[in-house]
Amino acid sequence: MEENLNKIKERLESQISKIQEMNDLDKFKSEILGKKGELTQILKNMKNYDENERRKVGKAVNDAKNNIEAKIEEKREIIKKIELSKRLEKIERIDFSLPVSDELGSLHPITVVQREIEEIFRTMGFTVEDGNEVETEYNNFEAVNVPKYHPARDMQDTYWLENGQLLKTQTSAAQNRIMKKYGAPLKAIFPGRCFRNESLDASHENTFFQLEGMMIDEDISVANLIYFMKTTLSEIFKKDLKVRLRPGFFPFVEPGFELDVSCMYCNGEGCKVCKHGGWIELCPCGLIHPNVLKMGGIDSEKYSGFAFGLGLSRLAMMKYGINDLRYLNSGDLRVLKQIGIR
């Protein structure tokens, strides 16, 4: 019996050594070690042996089964390695003679508008600064005159981190750092991604872009603010636009305004986009509150300044005629194709 078993083992091992594919190995395993397999059949046919012999043969057959199973698993590892190297070989073999796809990448509409505005402000002597996305509560709120428990905080609910910091709700969060970095006089713009815990709709996202600007010098007035905004917006929309100011409240400016621009679609005559009013609300702004200047280390007796916070995502929507802000974050390439950036 022992001799017979050794022969079976040798034969099975030789069969295993010839197997190349994982599927074949699995099939072999279930056939050989399964109910109908040769070794199991020996166990089934032991009725005629006496008890002592049955025990001996049973042990020998089980050892042989374990041995074959171990060989099968060894072979499995070898096949896995071979399959992996075949896959890697395929990846490395790039066929440079294949035709190139015409689906080339492009800049996102927000990036296009952002770069355009940056260029316009650079030509007017402004520096372009970076802001953080994770901010301190101080920079996002206190340093712009919104102390704890101020009702204005309710308008900008955000996402808090376990360490007490937050995802910035407004580009104004960079004002304090920039004032401390440069002092006065100062001319800077700072675009950036903002976050708010909002109910989403066609004009509200939880993640959107703003572009903020600040100019601080002696004798800065609302006239300077109007000049810079009118020049910039006319450049962006490539037509001579009118701007108007309405009173608006933001704790970090005094006086504060909502800046409207004459509708670029109907030239102020009234259409669906401007809801027949001839004006589009575009950008909150105002003269920087003395408290904000002081917290930024600037002498508020000597210097004054203006600040504005353009909704960059909404501006991109307007420029490209996109009717739902959520498309901009959707990653849907059809949006880019349709607006003709690609």
Q: Please identify, using beta-carbon distances, which residue of 261 and 336 lies nearer to ligand FA5.
A: 261
Stretch that binds ligand FA5, among 2-10, 45-53, 249-257, 259-267 (CB under 6 A): 249-257
Position 114 contacts ligand FA5 (CB under 6 A)? no
Q: Which of residues 188-247 bind ligand FA5 (CB under 6 A)?
A: 196, 198, 204-205, 208, 210, 212
Q: C-beta of 236: minimal distance to ligand FA5 in Å?
A: 14
Residue 312 token pair: 């960059």
Three-state DSSP at 224 gives: helix
For every residue of 130-145, DSSP letters joined together read ---SEE-HHHHTGGGT
Contact 121, 214 (CB under 8 A): no
Identify each DSSP E strand in the chain by its residue range: 127-128, 134-135, 166-167, 186-195, 207-217, 243-247, 253-262, 279-288, 304-311
Tell me how far the alpha carbon of residue 198 is from its chain's centroid: 18
Instruction: Find the binder of ligand FA5 among 68, 243, 307, 335 (CB under 6 A).
Output: 307
**CA 255 to chain CA mean position, Å:** 36
User: Is residue 289 a contact residue for ligand FA5 (CB under 6 A)?
Assistant: no
Interaction pattern, residues 320-339, with ligand FA5; x per rule: CB under 6 A:
-----x--------------
Q: Which residue is nearest to ligand FA5 (CB)?
A: 311
Q: How many CB atoms lie within 10 A of CB 255?
A: 14
280 binds ligand FA5 (CB under 6 A): no
**DSSP, residue by residue, 262-298:** E-TTTTTS--TTTTTSSEEEEEEEEEEPHHHHHHTT-
Q: Decide: is 314 part of the binding site for ligand FA5 (CB under 6 A).
A: yes
Q: Judged by CB, which is closer to ligand FA5: 300, or 313?
A: 313
Number of residues that bind ligand FA5 (CB under 6 A): 22
Whose Cβ is closer to ligand FA5: residue 308's or residue 327's? 308
Q: Which of 136, 145, 170, 176 binds ligand FA5 (CB under 6 A)?
A: 170
First to last CA, the chain: 77
253 counts as binding ligand FA5 under rule CB under 6 A: yes
**Which chain residues interact with ligand FA5 by CB under 6 A?**
170, 172, 196, 198, 204-205, 208, 210, 212, 250, 252-253, 284-286, 307-309, 311, 313-314, 325
